[in-house]
Amino acid sequence: MSSSCSGLSRVLVAVATALVSVSSSCPQAWGPPGVQYGQLGRSVMLCCPGVAAGTLVSWFRDGEPRLLQGPASGQGHTLVLAQADTSDAGTYICRTLDGAVRGTVTLHLGYPPARPVVSCQASDYENFSCTWSPGQVNSLPTCYLTSYRKKTVPGDDDQRMNSSAGPWLCPQDPPGTARCAVHGAEFWSQYRINVTEVNPLGASTRLMDVSLQSILRPDPPQGLQVEPIPGYPRRLLASWKYPTSWPHQPHFLLKFRLQYRPVQHPAWSTVEPVGLEEVITDAVAGLPHIVRVSARDFLDAGTWSAWSPEAWGTPSTGPLPEEILAGGQQPVGDQPQLKPESQLQAGSFTPPRPSLQPAPQPLDHRVPLEQVAMLMSLGILSFLGLVAGSLVLGLW
């Protein structure tokens, strides 16, 4: 069905030749010599290979003695089939007046390309890929030319593009799959993708405007784990990692959405943790819980990822581990998630904090965020103060 586009310029030339000149020797289209293509429902002209233009020939279907068109038809070395239908596909033979077989022609029938259906997706912040499917089912050999260019002015729809804006090839990797990938794209730029379907009957182009910010959809977080916290019958500690397709980079962070429910309950509870772990403080004691997590660009570009595979955990039922009850050797202030009010929920007895021994947290943005929020509110306060001050002055 699909073939390599390597000889494509030749094909396009051949298509053009077929349209322009029919009187000279036969145009060579795709595929082996002696293969010709025609459009279903239209008149199709076959050409006897190996004879000079205008040579008188007779035409037969291969293996049938019945004469289709005699030399007196006035068509020279061509055979015209009006309104070709599927029964016209097959092999034809042309003979010169001396009865010698001069050539065989195998006719394939189909339709000119239709505009392909294209969609693009990105699972990280600098690469995206586009996939496509035929706009119309076609039995002719088909290939796709894929390119892209950068739109120089975002939102500008006319064709003003400068030379540094492409077009560049959008490589199909592996070849033959209906997918091409753009690497190293700029997050804030607009790109125009050109997917052109080409077959022996012509070409048809779909243009599509794409920006990474709108198509971004991270892969789900990975390595979700749910652990009991010894001594806390209503708590679970969930932790997860960035998807491997999202390399850590300070300017492109992910935020997360965590859902959990007891196995028996249909309704999920949702929280939006900031870091890579969350302490669930209202678990139902003794019941196994299901937890799942999804990710999104920190600044709300694109959409939420799919949910991660679910992980299960049951809150601890045993007492506090003895070493914690015995000694205060665990540093306190280790777990910012353990808020005082939630400790009260754990029971009338409020034990010292157990050691969570959390995995290293390379991307806990809590502290910088709080600082930013603090700075911003300080800024707003001082601004308000200034405004009030100048108002008072003005009134004075």
Ligand X SMILES: *[C@@H]1O[C@H](CO)[C@@H](O)[C@H](O)[C@H]1NC(C)=O
Footprint of ligand X on this chain (CB under 6 A)? 124-127, 145, 147, 183, 194, 196, 205, 207, 245, 247
- Sign of torsion, CA 372 374 378 383? positive
Measured from the CB of residue 219, what is the shortest distance to ligand X in angstroms?
A: 10
Task: Give bridge partners of residue 117 from the DSSP assignment.
Answer: 133
Give me the DSSP letters along 303-370: -PPPPPPPEEE----S---HHHHH---SPSS--TT--HHHHHHT-SS-PPPPP--PPP-TT--HHHHH
Cβ contacts of residue 72 below 8 Å, gap of 6+? 56
Residue type present at position 20: V
Measured from the CB of residue 28, what is the shortest distance to ligand X in angstroms?
A: 21
Cα–Cα distance, 38 to 368 (Å, whole number): 67
Task: Give bridge partners of residue 309 from the DSSP assignment.
Answer: none
Distances (CA, A) of 285 to 53, 68, 168, 265, 315: 91, 87, 59, 14, 6
Residue 183 or 339 having the CB closest to ligand X: 183
Measured from the CB of residue 203, what is the shortest distance to ligand X in angstroms?
A: 7
Residue 176 or 202 having the CB closest to ligand X: 202
Q: What is the DSSP letter of 137?
A: -
Measured from the CB of residue 208, what is the shortest distance to ligand X in angstroms?
A: 11
Cα–Cα distance, 285 to 87 (Å, whole number): 73
Residue 21 or 245 having the CB closest to ligand X: 245
Measured from the CB of residue 217, what is the shortest distance to ligand X in angstroms?
A: 13
Measured from the CB of residue 2, what is the shortest distance to ligand X in angstroms?
A: 16
- Sign of torsion, CA 318 323 328 333? negative
Measured from the CB of residue 247, what is the shortest distance to ligand X in angstroms?
A: 5
Cα–Cα distance, 311 to 330 (Å, whole number): 28
Largest CA distance in the chain: 117
Measured from the CB of residue 391, what is the shortest distance to ligand X in angstroms?
A: 49
Backbone φ, ψ for residue 344 (5° rounding): -65, -35
Torsion of the alpha carbons at 12, 16, 22 and 27, rounded to the nearest 10: -10
Place of tokens 């009187």: 23
Three-class secondary structure of residue 241 per DSSP: strand
Three-class secondary structure of residue 387 per DSSP: helix
Measured from the CB of residue 174, what is the shortest distance to ligand X in angstroms?
A: 14
Residue 86 or 214 having the CB closest to ligand X: 214
Residue 210 or 229 having the CB closest to ligand X: 210
